[in-house]
Amino acid sequence: MTETFEFWVSYLTNGRHLNWYASFQYTVIAALLGGAFALLFGIGGAALRNSSLPPLKLLGTIYINMVRGVPDVLFFIFFPLAFEQLVELVIAQSACPAGGGAGVWPPCPEANWFLGTGEYLLLASVSLGIVYGAFTANVISGALNSVPRGQLEAARAFGMTNWQVLSRVHIRQMWVYALPGLSNCWLLLIKATSLLSLLQITDIVRGANLLGAPNFSRTAGVIHGDWRWGYYLALLLFYILVTYLSEKAFAAITRWASRGMPMAERV
Amino acid sequence: MKKLIAVAAIAVALFSTAANAQAIRIGTEGAYEPWNYVNADGNLAGLDIDVMNELCKRTGLECTFVQTAWDTIIPNLNAGNYDVIAAGMSITDERKEAINFTADYSPPEASGFMMLESATVDPANLTGVKIGTQTGTIQDAYATENFATGNTLLTFDTASNALADLMAGNIDVILADSSYIDEAVANSGGALKTSDVTVAIGGGVGAGLRKADTELLAKLDEALAAAKADGTIDALIAKHFPTRKGPFYVN
């Protein structure tokens, strides 16, 4: 590697690399959107599981136990495909002539739903949300049960309504117990964003693979051998940076959540 | 049910651009030089791209390219993710069962072997070696049929990943299109070599379409025949494959 500094600057800022840098947005969007969905599904799942109505409780328990056991890769390819075909099936009911197109999918061209990067990104985020929502639900449900009973009884003794107890005392104190578990879920979710290339998205992992693989074609740019290690190293550093920033953010949130809670601040 | 249909209709309207008869999507891999690849500027380039742009100009179709993985390129065509495959795809009877092809825009060419310069592999007599091909290519099928006994076969998702494993010594020889191998060997700075031994597989490269799209097929075939007759296709082949001796289509 005796190339000059100028060579590296121009190589690392050519169009192929700019495309790759731009693709980092997919990872960030999938993580943030997936995280938001996971929190939503998590709160929903925990609410179902702690519900006093047996059917809802069963539903919450099934969601939490079943989805946690399915490999995220499998769910990641299953959910978007199943959802796409379900939508196409529904459109086909009205758009397609009856009985046409045996053995082909979609049954007729009118029923085809085209999925581009944007749609796949949304479906990927929902998939991440469903999978990690199950873990989040378990964490939140555990945290709700960890709030000392005495706190809730004291709140009731002050004459608070059930809703006031829930919102002002129960959920307010729950965060301190949930945050360590939530931070685990978040980091697992970030790692799972490396699966985006399974959904036809040219994400950072696929991009690194394409850029780093040996190139012996004059027209495709700089001729080089196997440089994949360099690109994988860059991804490694990116994920470490994201982890570091996440830890900082969770530390700040924990400080915020435990204000006025001397018991929690000690831990 | 009515409500579901309405929701689905809104979803489709939001997510997809309105179906325009004049707009088609073309699926390509973008990782197989000099057929289709992403150039240093970050744009798709290669023979497949140039040929399709020429045909789109002649037919007045509005074409956009979609980059997609090679191993699922046919199922994704049939699923409607794009309307045409232009990815250096050889016309074979097996593929014809799943999709239709236009006439060829590149004539049949031999497949060759690529090895490290220091290798002592004899392509005419392959035994006890590790042979690499790209998954789902005609070479993959050929190797499975002819080299499976006595050798180890390995398939790779992209051609460049096979090349990386050849350089690292994980495989002994790559079986691929001669045009791809010639390009790689010529630019390897003496690290790679090929041999005179070649095998004839495949029947020319064409664009793939869904079985149902016969109207589009006729349109593209008509434009392709004209482009072949006036020498445009020959000029494009010469531009991307300096080593292939034309003209192929102009008498």
Which of B11, B41, B187 lies at the smallest CB-CB distance from A15?
Answer: B41
Measure in Å the smallest separation between the Cα of A111 and chain B Cα atoms.
10
Residue B249 lies in a domain: no
Q: Is the pLDDT of residue B10 over 90?
A: no
A239 touches chain B (CB under 8 A): no
Number of domains in chain B: 2
Pairing assessment for the beta strands B100-101 and B31-32 based on DSSP bridges: unpaired
Which tokens go with A261? 């809670």
Most B CBs within 10 A among A114, A126, A231, hence the mutation to make, goes to: A114
Q: Is the pLDDT of residue B225 over 60?
A: yes
Do B24 and B97 belong together in one domain?
yes
For the CA atoms of A248, A254, A255, A257, the dihedral, rounded to the nearest 10 degrees, stands at: 150
3-state secondary structure chain A: CCCCHHHHHHHHCCHHHHHHHHHHHHHHHHHHHHHHHHHHHHHHHHHHHCCCCHHHHHHHHHHHHHHHHCCHHHHHHHHHHHHHHHHHHHHHHHHCCCCCCCCCCCCCHHHCCCCCHHHHHHHHHHHHHHHHHHHHHHHHHHHHHHCCHHHHHHHHHCCCCHHHHHHHHHHHHHHHHHHHHHHHHHHHHHHHHHHHHHHCCCCHHHHHHHHHCCECCHHHCCCECCCHHHHHHHHHHHHHHHHHHHHHHHHHHHHHHCCCCHHHHHC
Q: Is the pLDDT of residue A14 over 60?
A: yes
Residue A11 lies in a domain: no
Lowest mean pLDDT: which of A109-113, B57-61, B190-194?
A109-113
Q: Is the pLDDT of residue A26 over 60?
A: yes
Mean pLDDT of A75-86: 90
- Which residues of chain A are within 8 Å of residue B15 when distances are taken between CB atoms? 113-116, 118-119
pLDDT for the residue numbered B131? 97
Phi and psi at residue B53, to the nearest 5°: -60, -40
Most B CBs within 10 A among A216, A226, A229, hence the mutation to make, goes to: A216
Mean pLDDT of A226-254: 95
Do B123 and B171 belong together in one domain?
yes
Which of A94, A115, A213 lies at the smallest CB-CB distance from B81?
Answer: A115
Beta carbons of A216 and B67 less than 8 Å apart: no
Do B52 and B163 belong together in one domain?
no
Write out pLDDT tens, residues B110-165. 999 999 999 999 999 999 999 999 999 999 999 999 999 999 999 999 999 999 99
Give me the percent of chain B exceeding a pLDDT of 90.
78
Most B CBs within 10 A among A9, A105, A219, A231, hence the mutation to make, goes to: A219
pLDDT for the residue numbered B2? 57
Name the burial class of residue B48, with classes exposed (0-12), middle (13-18) and buried (19+) by CB atoms within 10 angstroms of its CB: buried
Do B101 and B115 belong together in one domain?
no
Please tell me the number of Cα atoms within 13 Å of A256 on its side-chain side: 7
Under the banding of pLDDT at 50, 70 and 90, the label for residue B250 is confident
Residue A1 lies in a domain: no
Q: Is the pLDDT of residue A102 over 50?
A: yes
Residues in contact with B179: Cβ distance below 8 Å, sequence separation at least 6, in sequence order: B34, B35, B109, B241, B243, B244
Residue A98 lies in a domain: no
Residues in contact with B197: Cβ distance below 8 Å, sequence separation at least 6, in sequence order: B112, B113, B123, B124
Q: Residue B188 belongs to a domain with what CATH number?
A: 3.40.190.10
Beta carbons of B163 and A113 less than 8 Å apart: no
Which tokens go with A31? 């993580």
In terms of CA atoms, which chain B residue is nearest residue A12?
Answer: B40
Q: Is the pLDDT of residue A267 over 50?
A: no
Do B103 and B115 belong together in one domain?
no
Mean pLDDT of A205-224: 88
Write out pLDDT tens, residues A215-224. 888 777 888 8
Number of domains in chain A: 1
Structural domain of residue A29, as residue ranges? 24-90+105-215+224-266
pLDDT for the residue numbered A258? 87
Residue B21 lies in a domain: yes
User: Rounded to an integer, what distance in angstroms lies between the CA atom of residue A261 and that of residue A266?
Assistant: 9
3-state secondary structure B6-63: HHHHHHHHHHCCCCCCCEEEEEECCEECCCEEECCCCCEECHHHHHHHHHHHHHCCEE
A194 touches chain B (CB under 8 A): no
Do B75 and B44 belong together in one domain?
yes
In terms of CA atoms, which chain A residue is nearest residue B160?
Answer: A213
Beta carbons of B183 and A216 less than 8 Å apart: yes
Give me the percent of chain A exceeding a pLDDT of 90.
67
Residue A87 CB: number of other CB atoms within 10 A?
21
Do B171 and B131 belong together in one domain?
yes
Among candidates A108, A125, A27, A147, which has minimal Cα distance to B78?
Answer: A108
Unique residue bearing structure tokens 């016969």? B214
**Residue B67 or B20, more confident:** B67
pLDDT for the residue numbered B17? 45
Under the banding of pLDDT at 50, 70 and 90, the label for residue A8 is very high
Q: Residue A78 belongs to a domain with what CATH number?
A: 1.10.3720.10
Do B162 and B178 belong together in one domain?
yes
Most A CBs within 10 A among B117, B187, B194, B213, hence the mutation to make, goes to: B187
Q: Does the structure's ipTM exceed the value 0.90?
A: no
Write out pLDDT tens, residues A105-155. 777 777 888 888 899 999 999 999 999 999 999 999 999 999 999 999 999
The per-residue pLDDT of chain B, averaged, comes to 90
Beta carbons of B69 and A218 less than 8 Å apart: no
Structural domain of residue B70, as residue ranges? 2-107+203-240
Residue A5 lies in a domain: no
Which tokens go with A207? 């991009």
Q: Is the pLDDT of residue B8 over 90?
A: no
pLDDT for the residue numbered A207? 92
Beta carbons of B38 and A112 less than 8 Å apart: no
Among candidates A89, A108, A112, A83, which has minimal Cα distance to A97?
Answer: A108
B21 touches chain A (CB under 8 A): no
